[in-house]
Structure 1
Amino acid sequence: MKKIMTMGLALLLMSSSWKAQAKDYRISSAKELDALHLKAGDRVLMAEGEWKDQQLKFKGNGTKGRPIVLMAANPGKTILNGNSTLDIDGSWLLVEGLAFANGRLDSGEVINFSEKSFSCRLTNTTVTDYNGANDQVDYTWVSLRGSHNRVDHCLLKGKNHQGVTLVVWLSDKPNYHQIDHNYFGPRPELGRNGGETIRIGTSTWSFYDSFTVVEQNIFDHCDGEIEAVSVKSCKNTIRNNLFYECKATLTLRHGNHSEVYGNYFIGNGKPGTGGVRIIGEDHLVRDNYFQDLTGTGNSAAISVMAGLPNPILVSHWQVKNARITDNLILNCKEPFAIAAGYRTDRYLPALNTYFGKNIIVGNTEPLKWYDEKVVVNFEGNQILSASFSGQQGRGFELKNEQLKKTESGVFLRPGQADFKPFWESEQIGPSWISNLNKKIIIN
């Protein structure tokens, strides 16, 4: 017994010693950060005020229970501008409470997770209007390299120049990144390719696995280009996000085996608003909610693309084995577009597509065939309408039934219990910015 008590006391003293070794450092420049030799448990507190043209290099190796922290002494009050950047290089590093605003770069990225970064986290941070005078200049706001990193509870809005807002870069090993509870604010139309809000991978790496999870984010008026979220890799999960009045789509552009479920696409009748676009093999699109979208073809509520023969990595690959189930589609101009993008050189039909147990509400034709030779397996779908007079059968049943509307403006499926959507029950964006979800109004 005495020996056990002695060992316990020794462990307690060791734990206390480790805690005592952790230090707090207060800094007011990137040069002061460079001079530090940080250890697990240390915290670096950045002074309030303007930090102009500061290239922050945050390095070190923490542990799961004792990360190294770089944080604003007062969240949101450390303002980085000019050509300020942040490089996160190490393991178990935590960045919190910074505000990048009204700066600009000539290239590169505002915030970068290095290739060696592991289990690092960026949270409660903003990047707003970090734009130069020339919208042709291409740079990224957040680049995710390394593995098992997380970006959460951040606000990124106002990007109006060339380049993706947040990019996941691939390597020959899966990265397992997590992107959650962020508020991606308005991004105006760029007028050309390269205006995505999130891109997971690149065309040249599109057949490598990523295992990135994107969940419980709000995409608010992300209109940069047709792809608000562009998936260019394999085995990703995009779930429980809100796409609010985005003149864009969630596009499975390259790669295979991704899941898209539990997302909300709210158009409120805004021109060009879209849903999910499917390209590639073995994708699952289920339990999503589409309401008042006006997009057609590539921007329909659910769009299955025609494929190119003999495709190269940048091509539109043939759709195979897509399963589209249990989605609720309300008052959308084009609920399901089949062989969208069909033309004389892009004609490969989707193979083995299953469209089952979906509910379509409205008085318009549920299907738009851009190539009527495509074979789709329809099963157990319902059309809820008081006046629809189109063709029934082929896996569709017409019902005269109305859905219940919640206080949030979301309609419930038949038999579904009332609930609050995630943006009304979860903290989205930085904790020091209030009422972001008040912008979400469903007509």
Structure 2
Amino acid sequence: MMRTIVNLICTFICSAQVLQASTLTSGESIRALLLGDPKGSDKAELFHAEPVSGAQSSLLGGEISLRRNFMAEFDLKPSELDAALEIRMSSRKAGAEGAGYILSTYNLHSGISSLEKMPGGAVLKQMQDFAVLAPDRLYRYRLLKWANRFQLYLDGQLQMDYTEADDEAQVLSNDLYVTMGAESLRSNVKVSSLVRNPFLVPALKRTVEVRDLNGLLRAVGQAKAGDEILLADGRYEDVQLEISNSGAANSRVIIRAKNPGQVVFCGTPAIGIKGSYITVKDIVFTEGIAPDGDSVPPLVTLDGAYNRLTGCVVDNFDRDSAFKKKEFKWVRMPGEHNRVDHCSFIGKRSGNNLLPTGGLPESWDRIDNNYFNLYPGKTHPIMVGSGWVATNESHTLIEYNVFENCVGEIISDKTTGNVTRYNAFFNSAGAMSLRQGRRAHVYGNYFVQDRENHDFWPEERKGHALTCGISIRESGHLVEHNYFEGYASAIRLRSGSPEGFQEPGRPAVLPRHYAPASDTLIRRNTIVARQTVVVVEDVFPETDIKKRTVLAYDIRAENNVMMGTDEALLVTLEYKEPVRFKGNCFEHLPELNEDVTNDELIRDDMKDKCAEGRGSSLVLMPMLTGDSVGPVWLRN
């Protein structure tokens, strides 16, 4: 392997203008700024960055001369590397030794991103390496440095965050070295001068404290960018809010409990957000009263753009039996660039999905770090879009959530180009369902059932077609680096209707309701199944009104580790044709069909196989639990 160093000298002087700040962040506020297309060019003003003239060049590996505070960006697909990517920040002159840091990422065999001190190589910090779980993605690498702190992002993912205890880093980073392990890899590097500290949140312009509903209505009606509305402890009944005012990217309007968890919205609350850059935070919704009619308005509707629901709890809100036959979405996201995060949703009994999105084109909505436990309810937690917008490239991101004791289509993905990653599906009688959209990317998720008989689920749920890990329809999906354990079947490939078929009564403008799974790659997953690893769903009779007469086809299963009980099957044997197996490892699957007999049987530890490029790198990383997501105040 050859490493080439191309010198790119781009010297500049930064002015050190620092905003007055209310609180330090650990990356979360910057990450919020990356909502929307993370590769977009409209984010520079959010980082208070000014492009440096002449600082964009083509490189194999490169050196850039810097001073103090900068943002460096380049695009890279990690799978094109044949060694780790190294980013060095140093005070040395070119070719001379000096103090500094080495940030090493895309370490294939460890799943860890490391930061080391120069000289000496002492390890300062290690974090989960995101690129290992999805190496074929084209990432925007963004390195931010201010004084003694720096962060590395892969798109909107915080890959490394470090603050030097002393002021040594203040004078470091006179040079930035990017070393890429490839003989012919080129990327563009863009360097910007940071004129303000990106790690600080601007001070709020005004704080308004309210003690009752009338005070809240008055404060919301008068709210301006930079206002924080603090709710005093207590119960607020029948809160009906329509928020049309807007904040700004670095000056949001925040409505929150003064003491998190001590403000309760009960009765018939309905908060509609039509403006932009609004945050609702740290409120408990419970003890609901069912209104007249067949449907109930959502508790919170995130219309507009760049709005956020965070730190809230919805706890058995519809426990009243009058809700049972009503259609009730707890939260709706019909807008764009909106976010629901660090919330807990518990015990939904009413009908309809808990959290549907609008699925607008380029909506870039984000649902992350939430806890869902809907037992004893039977409704689906999340639905992305609908059949009406299935072809929209909505780019919805669902990550770091825990789904426990949920049923049905736990995530019903009905638009195109969405990402589901780093979630944990635990003891649920349901599935991650790729329903109608195309080109979904599902990676880095845990699907685990540890109760063999699922005694708490009725028989009709235990044997339901959706009681599996991932249910797949439509085409172009990539399912990689997931871990499945305990399911009767890990992956279910659904049959469907032929191209062009439209079932009676379905509007002609809608796509097929049931398309068969096709053109999908299932690679580097680790699967431990009780009965069948991959189920190829049977076709239905010709008399089926939905005409589900086409088997799944063109499915590739590569470099997976697949295990089962002594009675388990690899695939439903009467249908060998839809799945092509290549380079997989198997154990306790005695009925391997003739297409896969040349694949290797497992002889050693899963981690060893991972090092050889088989199975999921996720086995090197811990599974999320309910204690690690949801409102921070509820965990403390």
5+ residue gaps in structure 2? 1-14, 21-195, 197-201, 455-461, 503-510, 612-616
- The amino acid across from 1:428 in the alignment is V
Q: Is the 8 A contact 1:290 1:332 kept in 2?
A: no
Q: In the alignment, residue 367 of structure 1 is paired with which amino acid? A: V
Amino acid at match of 1:304: L
Q: Which residue of 2 aligns with 1:25?
A: 208
Q: Distance in 1 between matches of 2:414 and 2:536?
A: 21
Distance 1:206 1:20 in 2: 42
Q: Secondary structure at the match of 1:322?
A: strand
In the TM superposition, residue 303 of structure 1 has moved relative to its aligned partner by 0.9
SS of the residue aligned with 2:537? strand
Q: 1:206 aligns with which of 365, 390, 413?
A: 390
Counterpart residue number, 1:351: 553
The answer on whether the counterparts of 1:350 and 1:375 sit within 8 Å (CA) in structure 2 is yes
CA distance in structure 1 between the aligned counterparts of 2:618 and 2:421, rounded to whole angstroms = 20
Paired residue for 1:164, among 353, 373, 378?
Answer: 353
CA shift, 1:402, in A, is 5.1
- The one-letter code sitting in structure 2 at the alignment partner of 1:164 is N
Is 1:60 matched up with 2:245? Answer: yes
Instruction: Check the 8 A contact 2:627/2:635 in 1, yes or no.
Output: no
Cα deviation, residue 42, structure 1: 0.7
Largest Rg, 1 or 2: 2
Q: Residue in 2 aligned with 1:154?
A: 343
**1:21-420 alignment to 2 at 5 Å?**
22-36=205-219, 37-106=222-291, 107-114=296-303, 117-131=304-318, 132-134=320-322, 135-171=324-360, 173-190=361-378, 195-223=379-407, 226-268=408-450, 269-271=452-454, 272=462, 273-294=467-488, 300-309=489-498, 310-312=500-502, 313=511, 315-340=513-538, 342-344=540-542, 345-362=547-564, 363=566, 364-369=568-573, 371=575, 374-385=577-588, 388-391=589-592, 393-396=594-597, 397-401=599-603, 403=605, 414-415=610-611, 419-420=620-621
Q: Deviations over 1:230-263 (max 9, x none)?
A: 1111111011100001100010111111111111
The equivalent of 1:433 in structure 2 is 634
Structure 2 match to 1:4: none
The answer to which structure has the higher strand fraction is 2
* Superposed displacement of residue 70, structure 1: 0.3
How many residue pairs align between the two structures? 402
Bigger Cα displacement from structure 2, 24-33 vs 139-148: 24-33
On the 8 A contact 2:371/2:626 being kept in 1, the answer is no
Residue 136 to residue 341, structure 1, CA distance change in 2 (3 Å): farther
- Which moved further from structure 2: 418-427 or 350-359? 418-427
TM-score (norm 2): 0.59
Change over 3 Å in CA distance of 1:306–1:147 after alignment to 2: same
Structure 1 residues 432 and 276: alpha-carbon distance in aligned structure 2, compared to 1, 3 A threshold:
same
**Partner Cα separation in structure 2 for residue 99 and residue 349 of structure 1:** 47
| Aligned mates of 1:44, 1:274 — CA distance in 2 | 44
AA aligned opposite 2:412: S
Would the aligned equivalents of 2:342 and 2:369 in 1 still touch at CA under 8 Å? yes
Structure 1 range deviating more: 32-41 or 133-142: 32-41
Q: Deviations over 1:277-324 (max 9, x none)?
A: 110111111111110112xxxxx3101111112433362113221111
- The corresponding residue for 1:439 is none
CA drift at 1:89:
2.3
Does 322-331 or 175-184 show the bigger shift? Answer: 322-331
1:156–1:425 distance in 2 versus 1, CA, 3 Å: closer
Kept in 2, the 8 Å contact 1:82–1:104? The answer is: yes
Contact 1:216–1:239 (CA under 8 A) maintained in structure 2: yes
Which stretch shifts more, 143-152 or 342-351? 342-351
Aligned-pair identity (%): 25
SS of residue in 1 equivalent to 2:518: coil
Distance in 1 of aligned mates of 2:423 and 2:618: 20
1:135-173 Cα distance to aligned partner (Å, 9 max, x none): 1100100101211111110000100110111111133x3
1:97 and 1:412 mapped to 2: Cα distance? 44
Local SS of the residue matching 1:248? strand
**Aligned partners of 1:160, 1:412: CA distance in 2, in Å?**
45
From the superposition, tell whether residues 371 and 422 of structure 1 become closer, same or farther in structure 2 (CA, over 3 Å): closer
Amino acid at match of 1:399: L
Q: Distance in 1 between matches of 2:539 and 2:635?
A: 42
Rounded to whole Å, the distance in 1 between the matches of 2:578 and 2:618 is 35
Distance in 1 between residues matched to 2:484 and 2:438, nearest whole Å: 23
Shift in Å at residue 28 of structure 1?
2.8
Relative to structure 1, the CA distance from residue 285 to residue 20 in structure 2 (aligned partners, 3 Å threshold; closer, same or farther) is closer
Say if 1:245 and 1:270, in contact at 8 Å, map to a contact too.
no
CA contact (8 A) 2:402 2:626 kept: no
How far apart are the structure 2 equivalents of 1:68 and 1:337? Answer: 49
Q: Verify the 8 A CA contact 1:98 1:125 in the aligned structure 2.
A: yes
- Structure 1 segments, 4+ long, off by >6 Å, are none
> Aligned pair in 2 of structure 1 residues 392, 414: CA closer, same or farther (>3 Å)?
farther
Q: CA deviation at 1:228?
A: 1.1
CA contact (8 A) 1:264 1:290 kept: yes
AA matched with 2:549: Y
Residues 100, 424 of structure 1: alpha-carbon distance in 2 compared, 3 angstrom cutoff: closer
Tell me: CA distance 1:317–1:425, structure 2 relative to 1, closer, same or farther (3 Å): closer
Change (3 A) 1:74 1:418: same
Q: Return the offset for 1:426.
A: 8.7
